Amino acid sequence: MTPEPVTPEPVLAVEGLRVSAATDHGRVTVVDDVSLALRPGRIHGLAGESGSGKTVTGLAVLGLLARPALRVEAGTARLGGDDLLALGERELRAIRGRRVSMVFQEPMTSLDPAFTVGRTIGEVLRTHLRLSRRAARARAVELLDRVGIPEPDRRVDAYPFELSGGMLQRVLIATAIACEPAVLLADEPTTALDVTVQAGILALLRSLADDGMAVLLVTHDLGLLAEHCDDLTVMYAGQVVESGPVADVLTAPAHPYTAGLLAAVPSATVRADRLAAIPGAVPAPHLMPTGCRFADRCPHRRAECAEPVPLTGGAGRARRCVRADDLVLEGV
């Protein structure tokens, strides 16, 4: 008999993350009880509407929240023996870019226009690996070649405004992987890119995962998640509502919100007079209900949905719905 594959231990485990924000209504919780397990060699997708807390989760893990407006109130983020949420700025600077890196959504605003791309990549190498200026430049050329930028020995001396959006996104990825971190957080890395460039970026992320890196891919595109991810977490209104292997979540969703997202994806084969949509809107952070946060938009709600709903299930398949065991929801 063929033994079942062994699931690797998480290289980064986030547990019970809670983040608050200062608003005109006082401090309110914007990320509540979020847990993620990123494993080596796997791409973990993070999906949800804008404002669901996906980007804030990634920034909180790396200690990049705009404080004091945003601050971590509870939780842990264990990377090896370190809890990233408990470390000071000096300790985090030694970890960012070396053991865990982040690719931001807007490459043009993430790169300094006064520095060439080679100097930007070289700064990471010189800071963490203590390479000489010449060695850092040579390594930058290798990295640009690896991420698919043509003529890397010439592009290494280019400024950001001389490169296209797709090339800039590749430069960000080259910078992020320069020191071969164990974890890569990619926040909407294919936004505003054409489909050809998008495919190249995703193929690059896949190759990084195949080399053993743990990748978190934040995106709105469920098609990308289905094609490129191994695991999937769905967030709504600052909470995790469902998680598990991507095939299980997409073919047999356990939460009505996930099913609503899938139903809203336009079909190329089924003709419809109107596009499907989830009714209503995400409640404002200071108006979050005490029970299920999706209840007002859910066609399956019951009286018990007015009570707080915990995240149930094991590490392999979790859901936040009191009717998860009796609902049969349509997937893809």
Q: Mean pLDDT over residues 293-310, rounded? A: 93
| Residues paired with residue 71 on neighbouring β-strands, in sequence order | 20
Q: Mean pLDDT over residues 100-105, rounded? A: 92
Measured distance CA(12)–CA(100) in Å, rounded = 9
pLDDT, residue 102, reads 94
| Residues paired with residue 100 on neighbouring β-strands, in sequence order | 96, 183
Q: Is the predicted pLDDT of residue 10 greater than 70, yes or no?
A: yes
Measured distance CA(85)–CA(68) in Å, rounded = 15
- How many Cα atoms are found within 13 Å in the side-chain-facing hemisphere of 60? 31
Q: Which residues contact 244 (CB under 8 A, 6 or more apart)?
A: 231, 232, 254, 313, 316, 317, 318
Total-model pTM: 0.92
Residue type for position 240: V
Q: Which residues contact 239 (CB under 8 A, 6 or more apart)?
A: 32, 33, 34, 53, 293, 311, 320
Share of the chain above pLDDT 70, in %: 96
Q: Which residues contact 235 (CB under 8 A, 6 or more apart)?
A: 34, 46, 47, 48, 52, 53, 54, 57, 241
Measured distance CA(210)–CA(182) in Å, rounded = 12
Instruction: Give the mean pLDDT of the chain.
Output: 91
Give backbone dihedrals phi and psi of 29, rounded to 5 degrees, phi first: -80, 125
pLDDT, residue 1, reads 55
CB 25 within 8 A of CB 286: yes
Task: Give residue-wise pLDDT tens across range 40-63.
Answer: 999 999 999 888 999 999 999 999
Omega within 30 of 0 (cis) for the link into 68: yes
175 against 314, higher pLDDT: 175
163 against 265, higher pLDDT: 163
- Start-to-end Cα distance in the chain: 31
Q: How many degrees, rounded to 5, is the angle at CA 318 between CA 86 and CA 220?
A: 80
Measured distance CA(137)–CA(120) in Å, rounded = 10
Q: Is the predicted pLDDT of residue 267 greater than 80, yes or no?
A: no
User: Going edge to edge, which strands form the sheet with 43-47?
Assistant: 100-103, 183-187, 214-218, 43-47, 231-236, 239-245, 318-319, 312-313
Task: Give residue-wise pLDDT tens across range 189-230.
Answer: 887 678 888 888 889 999 999 999 999 999 888 888 889 999
